[in-house]
Amino acid sequence: MDDRPLGTSGLSVSRLALGTMTYGAQNTRAEAFAQLDYARDQGINFIDTAEMYPSPPREEWQGTTESIIGSWLTKRKTRAKIILAGKVAGPGIMPYIRDGKVRLDRRNIDAAIEASLKRLRTDYIDLYQVHWPDRDTNFFGRLGYTGEATTDGSVPIEETLGALARHVEKGTIRHIGVSNETPWGLGQYLKASERKDLPRIQSIQNPYHLLNRSFEVGLAEISVREQIGLLAYSPLAMGYLTGKYLGGAKPAGARHSLYDFYARYNTPRRDPAVAAYVDFARDHGLDPAQMALAFVLSRPFVTAAIIGATNLQQLQSNIAARDIILNDDIMTGLQEIYLLHQDPCP
């Protein structure tokens, strides 16, 4: 597995990261261990999780994912060889976390890190990310920013970064990243870092896949010029790019067969775009999912693609995408499809 630098941190991470948000919901502890073992044996050293996982969020299983990973790290005695990424939740989604008073301030960040360290059974988290902004802005597929909430009482980015910096100084986290962030927000983190001599953001975890290439507008340039690599989440668009949901199919045990939480992918333009990519892949002798992953991995601003799976066979197939190089003809064909079906799933 090829490695890539994580920003300017000095860390090297595998270009495929293992996403874990199904552990404790769709995946049992034993299934999660099997996936973690296989990923490690295939050279994946980068594991991504969050305090809110598993997802979709529910009070009764919140934190289970971290507990499973902590148990695996302890039993396999492999902590020193793993780059572990975690996330602190932002406000507005889960009333059961910290009594519903979740903000990205010092009190919440201190409590979140302390709880995650206990569940993960570790002294430190290598990359700690702000899961989504504290302020009212566009993320999770929201469009149409109006600017009406510029004084929404949100915690200032400088305050959030300062709270995280305390934990870098203590050693409980090593590096800081953001997620679901905008160009303006990322710029504010960079300004705060320079102005206050605070730790620098090393990564941004945003959606990026063939059905949503909006990262290329604004954020891609910042990512390359400032060495803040993209950790691309949902590189298969929550499984839609496999083609398994086409024609209204609901495969047994599949994520969208079980949950209707992910409305951001339910758009009228989704299926025509998916069908075009799936047909194109099959016409060229490629697995649709592997083609979609290979496209993401080919982008110069991508540090790692975060892959998740609900069974080991899916994980094996996804990891095999690392060996696929898309030639110029295929890249041209993908661009032609994109121009006909631009970003149907924001």
- Amino acid 93: pLDDT: 84
What pLDDT digit, counting tens, does each position of 48-60 carry? Answer: 999 999 999 999 9
Pairing of strands 201-205, 46-48: unpaired
Total tally of structural domains belonging to the chain = 1
> DSSP for 93-139?
S-TTGGGG---SSHHHHHHHHHHHHHHHT-S-EEEEEE-S-SSS---
> 239-272: per-residue pLDDT in tens?
999 999 999 998 888 888 888 767 788 899 999 9
Whole-number percent of the chain with pLDDT over 70: 99
pLDDT tens figures, 7-19: 999 999 999 999 9
Q: Is residue 287 part of a domain?
A: no
* Per-residue pLDDT at 143: 85
pLDDT at residue number 260: 74
Asked if the structure places residue 115 within a domain, the reply is yes
Angle of CA points 137, 58, 140, to nearest 5°: 20
Residue 239 and residue 105: Cα distance in Å, rounded?
34
Percentage, residues of the chain above pLDDT 90: 88
pLDDT 10s digits, 89-122: 999 889 999 999 999 999 999 999 999 999 999 9
Distance CA 131, CA 181 (A): 9
Section 138-167 average pLDDT? 87
- Once rounded to an integer, what is the mean pLDDT over residues 296-318? 97
Mean pLDDT of 194-211: 98
> 97: phi > 0 → left, psi -120 to 50 → alpha, else beta; which?
beta
Ordered DSSP codes for 241-305: GGTTTGGG---TT-HHHH----GGG--TTHHHHHHHHHHHHHHTT--HHHHHHHHHHT-TTEEEE
Mean of pLDDT values over 151-178? 95
Whether the predicted pLDDT of 179 surpasses 90: yes
- Tell whether 64 is covered by a domain: yes
Q: Is residue 77 part of a domain?
A: yes
What is the mean predicted confidence (pLDDT) over 123-135?
Answer: 97
Number of other residues whose CB lies within 10 A of the CB of residue 52:
25
Annotation marks residue 233 as catalytic:
no
What local confidence, expressed as pLDDT, does residue 151 receive? 62
Q: Residue 260 domain-assigned?
A: no
Q: Find how far residue 260's CA is from the centre of its chain.
A: 20
User: Which pLDDT value is given to residue 204?
Assistant: 98
336 vs 253, higher pLDDT: 336
Report the residue count for the chain.
346
My answer on whether omega of the bond before 268 falls inside 30° of 0, hence cis, is: no
Better pLDDT: 144 or 21: 21
**pTM of the shown model:** 0.96
Which pLDDT belongs to residue 53? Answer: 97
Judged by average pLDDT, the poorest of 113-122, 151-160, 195-204, 267-276 is 151-160
Domain span at residue 159 reads 3-239+298-326
Mean pLDDT of 203-212: 98
User: The CATH number of the domain where 126 resides is what?
Assistant: 3.20.20.100
131-152 pLDDT, tens digit per residue, is: 999 998 999 888 888 776 666 7
Are the C-beta atoms of residues 39 and 319 closer than 8 Å to each other? yes
Q: Are 189 and 222 in contact (CB under 8 A)?
A: no
Q: Is 339 inside a domain boundary?
A: no
Task: Exactly one of 23, 53, 240, 262 is catalytic; name it.
Answer: 53
Residue 291 lies in a domain: no
pLDDT score for 149: 60
CA distance 204 to 237: 18
Residue 83 near residue 47, CB atoms below 8 Å? yes
Residue 261 covered by a domain = no
Contact residues for 197 (Cβ-Cβ < 8 A; gap 6+): none
User: What's phi and psi for 124, nearest 5 deg?
Assistant: -155, 155
